[in-house]
């Protein structure tokens, strides 16, 4: 009889442990709460010669959009302002977490991690001098040997590789491109329209160099380094941040400060 009683007591104590252990652990967890982690910080490479999106002072639409979108997800951003080609190389090697203003196309898709939402869409056109126009109605009808200036390392759409009749002249920045066009060293140049509009006005030659016809439109992204194991997660967080900016109207306000991104 005593043996049966002892067995019942042990059984009841066992039940008590099973039912009360979770409560005890939760109480202990509340009394020993772990502080929330500090916001993550990213180091990004930002190109230095693509105003109004990104300039040599670390200002521009891309800076504002990225900081606002990631900031909403608790992620702080620091930018290292360097030439575009160097920025791309740094991201590929994993020296930075990502690179500004990358067009998503065949040549970049395999090199970086992209989210689903671009920062914005920007158009690019062929430009020529008013008094020495390109002898063509579109890019496909440009004659063989036409010398066209581009920025080294920039993306101009997958179709550019098909324009085998062109002689491409590569330079380092927009100002060099425009100067070559002004002195007649090239027949035309491909420039992103919002960038061309700002640079031509700054140089005081907006009446001399004008768009001829369209080249392409690109979705422009913050591209993340494949060397960062959290790249896919960061791309998702950026997507969520951009979605929030669009939903609360802040995205449209930021773009409105810039004006149209297409051809003038």
3-state secondary structure 184-202: CCCCEEEEEHHHHHHHHHH
| pLDDT tens by residue, 95-122 | 999 999 999 988 899 999 999 999 999 9
The tally of domains found in the chain comes to 2
CB count in 10 Å sphere of residue 236 = 15
Average pLDDT over residues 77-96: 95
- Which pLDDT belongs to residue 260? 56
Rg (Cα) of the chain, in Å, rounded?
Answer: 28
Judgement on whether residues 224 and 111 belong to the same structural domain of the protein: yes
Helix, strand or coil for residue 248?
coil
- Which pLDDT belongs to residue 78? 96
pLDDT at 263 over 60: no
Judgement on whether residues 73 and 191 belong to the same structural domain of the protein: no
Judgement on whether residues 148 and 130 belong to the same structural domain of the protein: yes
Helix, strand or coil for residue 228?
coil
Strands 209-225 and 188-192: unpaired
pLDDT tier at 35 (50, 70, 90 boundaries)?
Answer: very low
- Which pLDDT belongs to residue 10? 43
Judgement on whether residues 69 and 188 belong to the same structural domain of the protein: no
Judgement on whether residues 209 and 135 belong to the same structural domain of the protein: yes
Residue 149: inside a domain: yes
pLDDT at 255 over 60: yes
pLDDT tier at 261 (50, 70, 90 boundaries)?
Answer: low
Judgement on whether residues 173 and 224 belong to the same structural domain of the protein: no
Average pLDDT over residues 135-156: 95
Residue 5: inside a domain: no
d(CA 25, CA 169): 69
Poorest-confidence range of 14-23, 55-64, 192-201, 223-232? 14-23
CB count in 10 Å sphere of residue 17 = 10
Judgement on whether residues 57 and 186 belong to the same structural domain of the protein: no
Residue 226: inside a domain: yes
Residue 34: inside a domain: no
| pLDDT tens by residue, 149-166 | 999 989 999 999 999 999
- Which pLDDT belongs to residue 257? 78
Judgement on whether residues 155 and 102 belong to the same structural domain of the protein: no
Judgement on whether residues 202 and 134 belong to the same structural domain of the protein: yes
Rounded percentage of the chain residues whose pLDDT exceeds 70: 83
Average pLDDT over residues 118-138: 96
For the purposes of burial, counting CB atoms within 10 Å of the CB of 228, is it exposed (0-12), middle (13-18) or buried (19 or more)? middle
Residue 116: inside a domain: yes
pLDDT tier at 259 (50, 70, 90 boundaries)?
Answer: low
d(CA 168, CA 145): 9
Judgement on whether residues 200 and 211 belong to the same structural domain of the protein: yes
pLDDT tier at 73 (50, 70, 90 boundaries)?
Answer: very high
Judgement on whether residues 94 and 211 belong to the same structural domain of the protein: no
Higher pLDDT, 212 or 105: 212
Judgement on whether residues 224 and 98 belong to the same structural domain of the protein: yes
Task: Identify whether the C-beta of residue 58 lies closer than 8 Å to the C-beta of residue 45.
Answer: no
d(CA 18, CA 16): 5
Average pLDDT over residues 57-66: 95
pLDDT at 256 over 80: yes
CA atoms within a 13 Å half-sphere pointing along the CA-CB vector of 141:
8
Residue 171 sits in which domain range? 124-216
Question: What average pLDDT is seen over the chain?
Answer: 86
Residue 12: inside a domain: no
Q: What is the CATH number of the domain that holds 204?
A: 3.40.190.10
């Amino acid at each position: 009889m005593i043996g049966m009683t002892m067995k019942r007591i042990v059984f009841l104590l066992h039940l008590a442990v099973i039912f009360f252990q979770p409560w005890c652990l939760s109480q202990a967890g509340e009394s020993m709460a772990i502080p929330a982690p500090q916001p993550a910080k990213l180091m990004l490479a930002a190109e230095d010669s693509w105003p109004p999106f990104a300039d040599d002072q670390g200002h521009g639409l891309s800076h504002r959009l990225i900081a606002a979108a990631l900031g909403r997800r608790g992620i702080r951003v620091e930018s290292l302002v360097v030439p575009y080609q160097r920025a791309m190389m740094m991201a590929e090697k994993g020296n930075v977490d990502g690179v500004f203003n990358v067009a998503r196309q065949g040549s970049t898709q395999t090199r970086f991690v992209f989210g689903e939402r671009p920062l914005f869409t920007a158009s690019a056109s062929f430009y020529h001098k008013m008094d020495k126009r390109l002898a063509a109605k579109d890019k496909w009808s440009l004659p063989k040997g036409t010398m066209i200036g581009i920025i080294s390392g920039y993306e101009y759409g997958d179709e550019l590789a098909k324009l085998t009749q062109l002689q491409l002249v590569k330079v380092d920045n927009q100002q060099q491109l425009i100067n070559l066009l002004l002195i007649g060293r090239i027949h035309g140049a491909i420039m992103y329209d919002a960038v061309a509009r700002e640079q031509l006005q700054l140089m005081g030659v907006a009446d001399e160099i004008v768009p001829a016809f369209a080249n392409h439109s690109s979705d422009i992204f913050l591209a993340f380094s494949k060397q960062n194991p959290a790249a896919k997660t960061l791309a998702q967080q950026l997507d969520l941040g951009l979605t929030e900016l669009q939903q609360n109207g802040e995205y449209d306000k930021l773009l409105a400060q810039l004006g149209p991104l297409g051809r003038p």
